[in-house]
Structure 1
Amino acid sequence: METELAIIHGQMACVLQLQGLTEEALWLYNQIIKLKPTDVGLLAVIANNIITIIKDQNVIVSKKKVKLTKAEGVEFKLSKKQLQAIEFKKALLSMYANQAEQCRKMSTGLQSQRPECLLSVLIQAAQFCWEKQHTKAIELLHKFSDQYPENAADIKLTMAHLKISRGNISKACLILRSIEELKYKPGRVSLLVTMYSHEEDTDCAIEVFTQAIQ
């Protein structure tokens, strides 16, 4: 009965989380853990969802929840995709806990399993940024973009974000303008016009806007 109740509560909590009601979802997830269900797969998913909610806000709590994802038999209860999602969360948690080498080891391990996976590379780039090694992050992203051009748009958006975070607005604009797939997207146009206006580059702002409406 308790296991069935835990599954129902887990589904309810997941719906709340998807609706953005994270505090309510978090409370319900913790109530499920208190029930001590015997389903290790359910506990692993709940722990993973809790880590997603609290992120780097409470690393100690997150590390405790990670233990629930390591229970014996978990690999037989979850799909390969679910297991990989948990491993990604562990890598991110290592970064938040300032365990750089562990983060790199886990993210590169995930990339070796799926070389084309964008998320593992983004985690590695995030770790470099966490260590203030922004140049290495950009180099890594460039290399991946060359190897897997189908992910080029997402990679370029990430690089543009890095440039903006370092105050290099002009280079960020150049990167954004090179993304052909987003050339006429309202969000890209609006962002470029805003950034060019910030740089007092009226000519480029007008050019971007004009190209978008032609």
Structure 2
Amino acid sequence: MARELVGALPDMFPDSVMPVLLQAAILVRENKACRAKEILGQFSEKFPDKSKVVLLTGAQVAAGAGHTQVVVESLSKIPYIQHMPATIATLISLKERVGDIDGAIAVFHSAIQWWSNAMAKDNKLNVIMTTSSP
């Protein structure tokens, strides 16, 4: 019943995020994470300005259902959060959990490169790298 009701909402509100999020939540709950990921991906491609909330919520829904790979894929599609410490730690942990050690290392190296470039621009890297003596 819930699926039928939620299924009608995207036609009624085609540019609204909420119906898509509800559909994805139901699909993940039904153990159809791949279909949920597909629906979220289609919406985020159609409405890129709303993709952040769709992908973050999709990651949260998938995490609650224990679908680690969907979480990784959702977070990896949001480029401007890839360098944030919380995202880095989350992605590394999740990739390790699914056995993708090379992927975890790649996330770490990418973050190091991003922060090295960002900090070198203002010569801030030296501030972080300098050790203080007692």
Distance in 2 between the 1:213 and 1:131 partners?
40
Cα deviations by residue, 1:12-49 (Å, 9 ceiling, x for unpaired): xxxxxxxxxxxxxxxxxxxxxxxxxxxxxxxxxxxxxx
Matched, 1:178 2:77: yes
Normalising by structure 1, we get a TM-score of 0.42
Q: Which residue of the partner structure matches residue 145 of structure 1?
A: 44
Matched, 1:190 2:89: yes
Unmatched tracts of structure 2, length 5 or more:
117-134
Query: Aligned in 2, Cα 1:125/1:181: closer, same or farther, shift over 3 Å?
Result: same
Q: Please report how far the alpha carbon of residue 148 of structure 1 lies from its aligned counterpart in structure 2 after TM superposition.
A: 0.7
RMSD across aligned positions (CA): 2.9
Identity %: 20
Q: Please report how far the alpha carbon of residue 122 of structure 1 lies from its aligned counterpart in structure 2 after TM superposition.
A: 0.4
Matched, 1:166 2:29: no
Q: Which residue of the partner structure matches residue 209 of structure 1?
A: 111
Contact kept in structure 1, 2:58 and 2:74, CA below 8 Å: yes
Matched, 1:100 2:2: yes
* Runs of 4 or more consecutive aligned structure 1 residues displaced over 4 Å after TM superposition: none
Please give the secondary structure, in 2, of the residue aligned with 1:165: coil
Q: Which runs of structure 2 are paired with 1:28-43 in the superposition (5 Å)?
A: none
Distance in 2 between the 1:157 and 1:100 partners?
23
Q: Which runs of structure 2 are paired with 1:58-137 in the superposition (5 Å)?
A: 99-101=1-3, 103-104=5-6, 108-109=8-9, 111-137=10-36
Q: Which residue of the partner structure matches residue 157 of structure 1?
A: 56
Corresponding residue pairs, total: 111
Matched to 2:83, the amino acid is Y
Distance in 1 between the 2:82 and 2:3 partners?
38
Cα deviations by residue, 1:34-93 (Å, 9 ceiling, x for unpaired): xxxxxxxxxxxxxxxxxxxxxxxxxxxxxxxxxxxxxxxxxxxxxxxxxxxxxxxxxxxx
Contact kept in structure 2, 1:183 and 1:212, CA below 8 Å: no
Distance in 2 between the 1:195 and 1:128 partners?
21
Q: Please report how far the alpha carbon of residue 127 of structure 1 lies from its aligned counterpart in structure 2 after TM superposition.
A: 1.7
Distance in 2 between the 1:194 and 1:135 partners?
21
Q: Which residue of the partner structure matches residue 59 of structure 1?
A: none
Normalising by structure 2, we get a TM-score of 0.61
